[in-house]
Structure 1
Amino acid sequence: MKIRAASFNIRNSSAPDGDNAWPVRRKATVAAIEALDADVVGLQEVLPDQLEYLRWRFPKYEIVGAGRDDGMSAGEHSPVLVRPGDWRIERHETRWLSDDPGTPGSIGWDADLTRIATLVWLRHRNGTTVGVVNTHYDHAGEVAQLQSSRLIARWVTGSLPWIVMGDLNATPDSPPVKTLVDAGLRLAVPLSEGGSWHDFTGAVDDDRIDHLLVTPEWTVTDAAVSHFRPEGRVPSDHWPVVATLELR
């Protein structure tokens, strides 16, 4: 029983990116998502207009996730997309990366911004359930990054196999990532695959801050950082990460 999972920060549409602004590259972003050939995709920095466009471009996908500002539609989303096939969404919820995870808009610790995680329980057609966490850690608060990992580590304990994905704004050797590893998760994408952040330069050797981590029930059969440029255009300021996983 396999699942192909991917994480991709698509860069918000409000950023003043000039030649790389969302209206210019949105077709490339969709093409990059399609090229991942993933059963489940976690996206970050998705504003409402981008979510509307993605729903239009992926009409058969299940797409879930709330806005971080109000728990409904306001602000950035970290949506999870599930393509038609063996896996369906059983349930989902949004939690805030703070001391009060159930309060929409809450800001945690020393974070600069409100941050969220989208939790999804997926059921395979054979009845097996697995969990997925898609998240985007704060870019500035080091305490917030660490505490976010501690929160997620608690959320993924138990009997289910879990996949944790997202832009953690932290490299593999950092305390936030080490905290997840110490909790029993492991990095799915080898460091030899290159960097994920490139700031629209197209560099493939910059920092790896986008991650897929898995609990011990999963075997990684292949994994990569996708450096695909649809028609020569970089689809975001991040490269997506992707892995094929098999339940042991």
Structure 2
Amino acid sequence: MKLRAATFNLRNSSAPDGDNAWPVRKQAAVAAIELLDADVVGLQEVLPDQLGYLRLQFPKYEIVGVGRDDGQSAGEHASIMVRTGDWRIDRFETRWLSDDPGTPGSVGWDADLTRVATLVWLRHRNGTTVGVLNTHYDHAGEVAQLQSSRLVAKWVAGDLPWIVMGDLNATPDSPPLKALTDAGLRYAVPIEAGGSWHDFTGAEDDDRIDHILVGPAWTVVEGAVSHFRPNGRLPSDHWPVMATLSL
């Protein structure tokens, strides 16, 4: 069984990005996602208008997740796209990265913003179940980043094969990432594959803050950072990160 997973911070449509604003680059973002050819894509910073556009552009994918502000549609989503085919969604949940994960809008520790994780349980056509967690850690709160990793590690503990991915706003040598690897997760994409955040500069060697980590049951077939610029247009201020995995 193979599963191709990817994570991509889409950059929210409300950001004042000028020549890189969402209306200018949305077609490039779609092209970048199409090129990934992934069974599962974790997206971050997705606002409702972007979500509506993606649903139209990707009719063969089911897209799940709720808004972080109210647990329904308001605010950014950490959405998960699942391609119809070998895998289907059994169920999904959105949890808040805080001391009260079940309360919509809750803010954790020293975080600057409300942050969430979306968890999906996928069933293969042969009956095998795996878990996928997509998240976006806070950009400012160092305590919140570490505590978020501790929450994530607890949520994915057990025998189920898990994939953890997202914009963790932390580099591989940081305490939040060490907390995940100490819990038994490992990197699916080599560090030498390049950076993932570039702030619309197009740099390919900046910080790697977007990650895919997997539990011990997974075999990593390949992992990479996509530096694709459709028609020369940057699809976001982050590069997508992808990995092909097998069980």
- Pairing 1:111–2:126 present: no
CA distance in 1: counterparts of 2:192 and 2:159, whole angstroms: 31
Q: Offset of 1:85 from its aligned partner?
A: 1.1
1:123-162 to 2 correspondence within 5 Å? 123-162=123-162
CA distance in 2: counterparts of 1:28 and 1:175, whole angstroms: 34
TM score, norm. by length of structure 1: 0.99
CA distance in 2: counterparts of 1:173 and 1:86, whole angstroms: 35
1:34-56 per-residue CA deviation (whole Å, 9 max, x = no partner) reads: 00010000000000000000011
CA distance in 2: counterparts of 1:112 and 1:214, whole angstroms: 28
Task: Please name the residue that 1:214 is paired with.
Answer: 214
1:41-60 to 2 correspondence within 5 Å? 41-60=41-60
Q: Offset of 1:60 from its aligned partner?
A: 2.1
CA distance in 2: counterparts of 1:21 and 1:146, whole angstroms: 31
CA distance in 1: counterparts of 2:97 and 2:237, whole angstroms: 24
Task: Please name the residue that 2:33 is paired with.
Answer: 33
1:66-104 per-residue CA deviation (whole Å, 9 max, x = no partner) reads: 000000000000100011110000000000000000000
1:1-248 to 2 correspondence within 5 Å? 1-247=1-247
Q: Tell me the amino acid that sits aligned with residue 237 of structure 2.
A: D
CA distance in 1: counterparts of 2:87 and 2:27, whole angstroms: 26
Which contiguous aligned blocks of 4+ residues in structure 1 show a shift greater than 3 angstroms? none
Q: Offset of 1:159 from its aligned partner?
A: 1.2
Q: Offset of 1:25 from its aligned partner?
A: 0.1
1:134-156 per-residue CA deviation (whole Å, 9 max, x = no partner) reads: 00000000000000000000000
| Structure 1 residues without counterparts, runs of 5 or longer | none
Q: Tell me the amino acid that sits aligned with residue 115 of structure 2.
A: R
CA distance in 2: counterparts of 1:114 and 1:27, whole angstroms: 28
| Structure 2 residues without counterparts, runs of 5 or longer | none
CA distance in 2: counterparts of 1:203 and 1:78, whole angstroms: 24
CA distance in 2: counterparts of 1:14 and 1:186, whole angstroms: 34
RMSD: 0.4
Q: How many pairs were matched up?
A: 247
TM score, norm. by length of structure 2: 1.00
1:191-219 per-residue CA deviation (whole Å, 9 max, x = no partner) reads: 11100000000000000000000000001
Q: Tell me the amino acid that sits aligned with residue 151 of structure 1.
A: L
CA distance in 2: counterparts of 1:208 and 1:159, whole angstroms: 29
Q: Offset of 1:160 from its aligned partner?
A: 0.3
Q: Tell me the amino acid that sits aligned with residue 217 of structure 1.
A: A
Q: Tell me the amino acid that sits aligned with residue 72 of structure 2.
A: M
